[in-house]
Amino acid sequence: MAALASAAALLVAGSADAEAPTRVVSMNLCTDQLAMLLADEGQLLSVSHIAFDPLASPMVEEAAGYEKNHGQAEEIFAMRPDLVLAGVYSDPYTVGLLRRLGVDVVQFPLETDFDGIRANMLKMGEVLGQVDAAQRLVAQFDADLAALGPNGEERPSALLHYANNYTSGDKSLAHQILLAAGFANATTEAGITVAGSVPLERLVLLMPDLVISGQPYPGASRAEEVLDHPALRVLQQKQSGATLTDAEWVCGTPFVLRAVARLVDIRERM
């Protein structure tokens, strides 16, 4: 936390010399959310089309107030932005072309823990010239997180189970959400760090106290059929299993606290 305080002090010192951008475009779901939370009125012009998808975005209503983009260099350049916000895994062709055209593009790293969330909130405050607002957002995040602290020292085991038997290990943001809610991540027994897969046979043998399933999307997908496997249904019925809402888990923003709150409630009922 001392390092974060030092970083915040540097942001305050540096922001005095920098002129805040006035035409900002975000082309990434996670930067969409941070920008909508921190941008001044009229400062943010456009957010990605994914921000309008209620299955992936917790800020659909807010996104309706902005122009939609599909992350294409031509459409973004036509908006005449003085700043483009992107993720580290955003389309490198688009990012490279915009930079060659003289557009300032700032990329944000993926968050794997709560310190990463705090750092990206402060970084967004810096690039938007909204340092004070970012510091207030971090303070509110910490206060809300502290208020959600689960009771008791016992940690039931939980296993995250997505389509195609995909799961998150102990070097992921999802893992930190589990810990904050008072659970232990059962995938650590399987030796999974960032991400991997746990076949249903292994999942049943691990016998976690809670299985948290991924959220099915409209349409048919063979990868999602495993989420409705009879063995998994029986296990979840015995455990009152939970279903993930991607909008709460996918990005490192204050909205992850909704997932923590839901899991705390489940843990207390267990």
- Predicted confidence band at 8 (pLDDT cuts at 50, 70, 90)? very low
* Confidence (pLDDT) at 11: 44
* Confidence (pLDDT) at 1: 43
* Confidence (pLDDT) at 210: 87
Share of the chain above pLDDT 90, in %: 57
In angstroms, rounded to a whole number, what is the distance separating the alpha carbons of residues 80 and 50? 21
In angstroms, rounded to a whole number, what is the distance separating the alpha carbons of residues 47 and 101? 20
Q: 223 pLDDT exceeds 90?
A: no
* pLDDT tens sequence across 77-108: 999 999 999 999 999 999 999 999 999 999 99
Q: Which of 36-50, 167-181, 219-233 has the lowest mean pLDDT?
A: 219-233
In angstroms, rounded to a whole number, what is the distance separating the alpha carbons of residues 128 and 97? 22
| Residue 150, token pair as written in the block | 């689960």
End-to-end CA distance of the chain: 33
CB 196, CB 187: distance < 8 Å: yes
In angstroms, rounded to a whole number, what is the distance separating the alpha carbons of residues 75 and 65? 18
* Confidence (pLDDT) at 207: 79
Q: Which residue has the tokens 């975005």?
A: 57
The long-range contacts involving 78-82, CB below 8 angstroms and separated by at least 24 positions, are: 79/23, 79/25, 79/45, 79/46, 80/23, 81/21, 81/23, 81/24, 81/25, 81/45, 81/46, 82/21, 82/22, 82/23, 82/24
What is the average pLDDT score of the chain? 84
- Domains of the chain, CATH where assigned: 2-145 (3.40.50.1980), 157-269 (3.40.50.1980)
Higher pLDDT, 270 or 142: 142
Q: Is 229 left (phi over 0), alpha (psi -120 to 50) or beta?
A: beta
| Range of 132-136, 163-167, 223-227 with top mean pLDDT | 132-136
* Confidence (pLDDT) at 205: 74
Beta strands 166-168 and 195-197 are antiparallel
In angstroms, rounded to a whole number, what is the distance separating the alpha carbons of residues 181 and 264? 5
| Range of 115-129, 182-196, 206-220 with top mean pLDDT | 115-129
Higher pLDDT, 228 or 21: 21
